[in-house]
Amino acid sequence: MLGVPDLVPVFSWIFLRGKCRYCKAPISSRYMWTEILMGVVAVSLLIRYDLSLKALFYLVFGFILLGESLTDLEVFEIPDGFHLAAILWWCLYLPFPAVLYRRADGRIAGRSCYSRRYPSADHDL
Ligand SMILES: [Zn+2]
């Protein structure tokens, strides 16, 4: 059974020197690199969007896309589960466009672009 030190991303791989604690079987370094890459994605999104629902949305979506990409690189195939997860995750946010499209000034980005191009359309919305 894995202990807490075995579950710390990146460091567990380094401390165990890329080998299983129990059977000493080698563990590919790609797991460590994947964890580092996901950490970079997470920190980048937190820097860009701070702690917010938008950051959470892009974080999970980014992890799904990263998983898709890495799986594709390894086996040249993208399991349908990734697409399904991405679609379901996207659908969760469809009823809340303000979470995704609200700009820093509080306005909804899509509407402001539309309104700028077609000023009279403001009355129709
Ligand atoms: Zn083992």
Instruction: Say if residue 124's pLDDT is above 50.
Output: no
Cα distance between residue 47 and residue 36, in whole Å? 16
Instruction: Say if residue 38's pLDDT is above 90.
Output: yes
Cα distance between residue 94 and residue 13, in whole Å? 38
Range with lowest mean pLDDT among 16-20, 23-27, 34-38, 91-95: 91-95
Cα distance between residue 113 and residue 31, in whole Å? 42
pLDDT band at 125 (very low <50, low <70, confident <90, very high): very low
Domain range annotation of the chain: 4-94
Cα of 26 to ligand 1 centre, how many Å?
Answer: 8
Q: How many CB atoms lie within 10 A of CB 45?
A: 19
SS3 state of residue 17: coil
Cα of 10 to ligand 1 centre, how many Å?
Answer: 17
Cα of 91 to ligand 1 centre, how many Å?
Answer: 39
Cα of 66 to ligand 1 centre, how many Å?
Answer: 26
Flag whether the pTM goes above 0.75: no
Residue range 85-98: average pLDDT? 85
Residue 73's Cα: distance from chain center in Å? 18
Cα distance between residue 53 and residue 116, in whole Å? 27
Cα of 92 to ligand 1 centre, how many Å?
Answer: 38
Cα of 21 to ligand 1 centre, how many Å?
Answer: 6
Q: What is the mean pLDDT of the chain?
A: 83
